[in-house]
């Protein structure tokens, strides 16, 4: 790829001054982008837009909502392969189905995090965050000292709360486990109420990933949570990098706040580079 194809990222005519860590990506999704050359393309494009690191959460819906143990392991094995291909670029999170029970949760988190260097836990829509099956997950997060990224979305319209976590459920989880760093995914899917649900739960951060770049949401989150509790995420490949980065760059917040959201907050949580560039 040449420079004509990858023009320098500019906003309002100026190049961005922010390096970026993307805390929410699925480079392989729906069983696609499994070949190295496809991943090469994603990494190259990310770098061209200033994305220095990506957190890989896995192809979490590859086997539907309720993968079995071997399917969870296969998803995490693919994440490990991506880390192996790009150890200085990708950061892995261990995908779990908490319904598979305590022993599996313990074995899989230790396999991924202790043995393969994953840096967090990813939870999707196997269960609601209030369910009892979360206890071993949070115990392991505490023991291994890693963050938990919980998919979350306002369930008022979606109406799947039996297994789909509402921001109120994520807030509840955060209150039960105040020592665990929790990342509530999908700011815009959580909406204004979602932001308000976690205002007083200081161990919960929100990521900006997914949905359309609805104007005003980033400003709302920064106003009520502080920029230090907002993390940039894209939900790649479900979403497109320029749009999702543009959501933060477009917001009416200070450059310092953008820098926190795009880089240093996630760097701090993951301990990957405390010296922000």
Partner 1 sequence: MIDINVSYGTWPFHSTGFQHLSELEDHLKTCGINTALVSHIGAVWNPDVDGYNQAVINACSDRPGLIPIPILNPAWPAPFNDYHKSEAFPGVRLYPSYHGYLLNDPVMDTLVEYVLERGLVLFIQMRLEDERMQHPLARVEAVDIEDILALHVRFPRLQIVCLNAYLPEVRRIAAQSNRIGFDTAFCEWFFTMECMLDVLPPENIYLGTHSPFLYTQAGILKVTQSRVADPIKAQITTGNAVRLLGPSGAHS
Please name the residues in contact with 271: beta carbons below 8 A apart, sequence gap of 6 or more.
none
Please name the residues in contact with 212: beta carbons below 8 A apart, sequence gap of 6 or more.
188
CA distance 151 to 235: 11
Q: Does 162 bind partner 1 (CB under 8 A)?
A: no
Binding track over 169-188 against partner 1, x by CB under 8 A: -------------------x
Among 134, 241, 261, 270, binds partner 1 (CB under 8 A): 241
Measured in degrees and rounded to the nearest 5, phi and psi for residue 15 equal -70, 150
Return the SS3 of 259: helix
Other beta carbons within 10 angstroms of residue 251's beta carbon come to 23
Q: Does 7 bind partner 1 (CB under 8 A)?
A: yes
Q: Are 208 and 247 in contact (CB under 8 A)?
A: yes
Q: Does 14 bind partner 1 (CB under 8 A)?
A: no
Distances (CA, A) of 132 to 59, 138, 152: 25, 11, 17
Q: Does 17 bind partner 1 (CB under 8 A)?
A: no
Among 54, 121, 189, 225, binds partner 1 (CB under 8 A): 189
CB of 179 to partner 1, least distance (A): 32
Q: Are 116 and 80 in contact (CB under 8 A)?
A: yes
Q: Does 156 bind partner 1 (CB under 8 A)?
A: yes
Count of CA atoms in the C-beta half-sphere (13 A) of 184? 37
Q: Please, which of residues 28-47 interact with partner 1 by CB under 8 A?
A: 42, 45
CB of 152 to partner 1, least distance (A): 13
Smaller CB separation from partner 1, 105 or 247: 247
Q: Does 222 bind partner 1 (CB under 8 A)?
A: no
Q: Does 237 bind partner 1 (CB under 8 A)?
A: yes
Q: Applying CB under 8 A, which residues contact partner 1?
A: 1, 4-7, 9-13, 42, 45, 49, 153-154, 156-158, 188-189, 191-192, 211-216, 236-247, 249-251
């Amino acid at each position: 790829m040449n420079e004509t194809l990858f023009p320098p990222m500019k906003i309002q005519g100026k190049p961005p001054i922010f390096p970026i860590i993307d805390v929410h990506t699925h480079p392989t999704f729906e069983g696609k982008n499994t070949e190295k050359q496809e991943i090469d393309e994603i990494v190259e494009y990310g770098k061209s837009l200033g994305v220095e690191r990506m957190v890989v959460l896995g192809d979490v819906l590859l086997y539907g909502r309720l993968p079995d143990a071997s399917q969870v392991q296969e998803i995490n094995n693919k994440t490990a392969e991506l880390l192996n291909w790009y150890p200085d670029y990708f950061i892995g999170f261990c995908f779990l189905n908490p319904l598979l029970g305590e022993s599996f949760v313990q074995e899989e988190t230790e396999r991924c995090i202790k043995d393969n260097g994953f840096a967090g836990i990813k939870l999707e829509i196997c269960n609601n965050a209030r369910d009892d099956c979360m206890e071993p997950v949070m115990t392991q997060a505490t023991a291994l000292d890693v963050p938990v990224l919980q998919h979350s979305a306002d369930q008022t319209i979606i109406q799947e709360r039996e297994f789909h976590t509402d921001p109120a459920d994520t807030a509840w989880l955060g209150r039960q486990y105040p020592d665990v760093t929790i990342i509530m995914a999908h700011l815009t899917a959580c909406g204004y109420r979602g932001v308000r649900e976690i205002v007083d739960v200081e161990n919960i951060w929100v990521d900006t990933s997914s949905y359309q770049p609805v104007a005003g949401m980033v400003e709302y989150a920064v106003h009520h949570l502080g920029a230090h509790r907002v993390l940039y995420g894209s939900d790649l490949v479900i979403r497109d990098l320029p749009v999702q980065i543009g959501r933060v760059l477009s917001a009416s917040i200070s450059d310092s706040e953008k820098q926190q959201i795009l880089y240093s907050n996630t760097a701090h949580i993951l301990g990957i580079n405390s010296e922000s560039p």
